[in-house]
Amino acid sequence: MSHRKIIHIDMDAFFASVEQHDHPELRGLPIAVGGSEPRGVVCAASYEARRYGVRSAMPGAKARRLCPQLIFVEVHFERYREVSAAIHRIFRNYTDRIEPLSLDEAFLDVTDNKRGESLAVKLAIEIKERIATELGLTASAGVSYNKFLAKVASDARKPNGLCTIHPTQALDFIANLPIGEFWGVGRVTKRKMLELGIHTGADLRARSLPELERYFGRAGKMFYDFARGIDERPVEAERIRKSLGCEHTFLDNTSDPSVLEARLLQVAEDLARRLERKGFLGRTLTLKVKYGDFSIASRSTSQLQEILTLEEIQRLGLKLLRGLDYTEHPVRLLGLTISNPSEELRPGMWVQQWIQFPD
């Protein structure tokens, strides 16, 4: 049986590492990119900061409590896009089958590569070396026969690591993999898995497909396959999507303005974190409201300049929400999306569409 050859490249603490590269006086120090505002959120943390528990998407105030000597650095998205584009130019020396996941992460299908190299691990080593030599940054790489395992492999030895999962090793590797490290297992799904007694890949593999589908819906088939080392998804060449959004579905429909406005502020916070993570900027904010009868209303507002801050998203979102009459139409879902970038997205920039956050 022939296998594909997939490399997953994940830059190490990308935004923070770029800042430390560009500002040598910050090297070796705990820094956080973003998060300095009163209600700001950490966009990225250096490994020196991570030792204190500082993580991306963490409120800046909490990060400061964990690490009093933390240095907050302004976000420079244009610079990160520039470096990401340079990384992708390196990738294209090896293959055109590149699927970006974000500015700092991508899959490469090197089954039929431009170098005619049969060993994907050799290409991964060379790519890592070129990124280090040409850009002064480190990356972690995972090599395997599908996307799931390549992603898991790159996470296994961060930072600056390289891990290969051979087809003959895959089932044993998966059996020992903590369930929280499976693709698609977020905080809520992990809690549900643990409640079901599923702690490792071996536990997951012991569950039947009907059982997993009963508990996890369509994702059950994905988990069933992953536990067996199966992932048929192809590496899809670069696609540019020009919007990013988040939404929340209520457990009970509501027309309570205080509840709706409070939840809209939380959706805005989720959106702001992912905008920082993905490096996306746009000028249009759209509010999506789904009512109890499943009818949908949407309202948008566009600005002359890019929407840059959480406070701006919240202010505009509340204005849109307050312009709707939902007193007799209980709401079941709220969503916010940013779109309309002011310039064409550059190679290496990947924007996901709607990201749902169930309770």
The 3-state secondary structure of 230-294 reads CCCCCCCCCCCCCEEEEEEEEEEEECCHHHHHHHHHHHHHHHHHHHHHHCCCCCEEEEEEEECCC
**DSSP characters over 110-177:** -TT-TT--S-HHHHHHHHHHHHHHHHS--EEEEEESSHHHHHHHHHHT-SS-EEE--TTTHHHHHHTS
Domain assignment present for residue 3? The answer is: yes
Co-location of 155 and 194 in the same domain: no
Residue closest to 107 by CA, chosen among 5, 241, 33, 217: 5
In 10 A of CB 339, how many CB atoms? Answer: 18
User: How far apart (Å, rounded) are the C-alpha atoms in residues 296 and 287?
Assistant: 10
Return left, alpha or beta for 217; rule: phi > 0 is left, psi -120 to 50 is alpha, else beta: left
**Dihedrals φ, ψ of 169, to 5°?**
-100, -10
- Residues linked to residue 73 through DSSP beta bridges, in sequence order: 33
Co-location of 199 and 155 in the same domain: no
Q: Is the pLDDT assigned to residue 105 strictly greater than 50? A: yes
Co-location of 6 and 97 in the same domain: yes
Co-location of 247 and 341 in the same domain: yes
| pLDDT for position 358 | 32
- The three-point CA angle 20-25-29 to 5° equals 65
Domain assignment present for residue 233? The answer is: no
The CATH number that applies at residue 193 is: 1.10.150.20
In 10 A of CB 256, how many CB atoms? Answer: 12
Co-location of 157 and 215 in the same domain: no
User: How far apart (Å, rounded) are the C-alpha atoms in residues 328 and 302?
Assistant: 28
Count of structural domains within the chain: 3
The set of catalytic residues is 105
Domain assignment present for residue 183? The answer is: yes
| pLDDT for position 212 | 96
Co-location of 188 and 335 in the same domain: no
Domain assignment present for residue 238? The answer is: no
Co-location of 264 and 343 in the same domain: yes
Co-location of 344 and 200 in the same domain: no
Lowest mean pLDDT among 13-17, 330-334, 342-346: 342-346
Domain assignment present for residue 91? The answer is: yes
Domain assignment present for residue 236? The answer is: no
Co-location of 304 and 341 in the same domain: yes
- Region 172-190 average pLDDT: 91
| pLDDT for position 345 | 38
Residue 291's identity, in one-letter code, is: Y
**Dihedrals φ, ψ of 43, to 5°?**
-85, -35
Query: When comparing pLDDT for 145 and 282, which is higher?
Result: 145
Share of residues in the chain with pLDDT > 70 (%)? 93
Co-location of 337 and 200 in the same domain: no
Domain final residue pick, 143, 165, 187: 165
Q: Is the pLDDT assigned to residue 77 strictly greater than 80? A: yes
> Tens digits of per-residue pLDDT, 123-178?
999 999 999 999 999 999 999 999 999 999 999 988 999 999 999 999 999 999 99
The CATH number that applies at residue 55 is: 3.30.70.270
List, in sequence order, the alpha helices (H) in 279-341: 310-322
Domain assignment present for residue 43? The answer is: yes
Domain that holds residue 205: 171-226
Co-location of 116 and 139 in the same domain: yes
> Tens digits of per-residue pLDDT, 283-308?
999 999 988 877 888 999 998 888 88
Q: How confident is the model at residue 53 (pLDDT cuts 50, 70, 90)?
A: very high
Q: How confident is the model at residue 349 (pLDDT cuts 50, 70, 90)?
A: very low
Q: Which two tokens stand for residue 65?
A: 């409590």
CB burial of 50-85 (b: ≥16 within 10 Å; e: otherwise) equals bebebebbbebeebbeebeebbbbebebeebbebbe
Q: Is the pLDDT assigned to residue 359 strictly greater than 50? A: no
Residue closest to 24 by CA, chosen among 138, 160, 136, 140: 136
3-class secondary-structure state, position 101: strand
Domain final residue pick, 165, 192, 209: 165
The CATH number that applies at residue 345 is: 3.30.1490.100
Co-location of 193 and 130 in the same domain: no
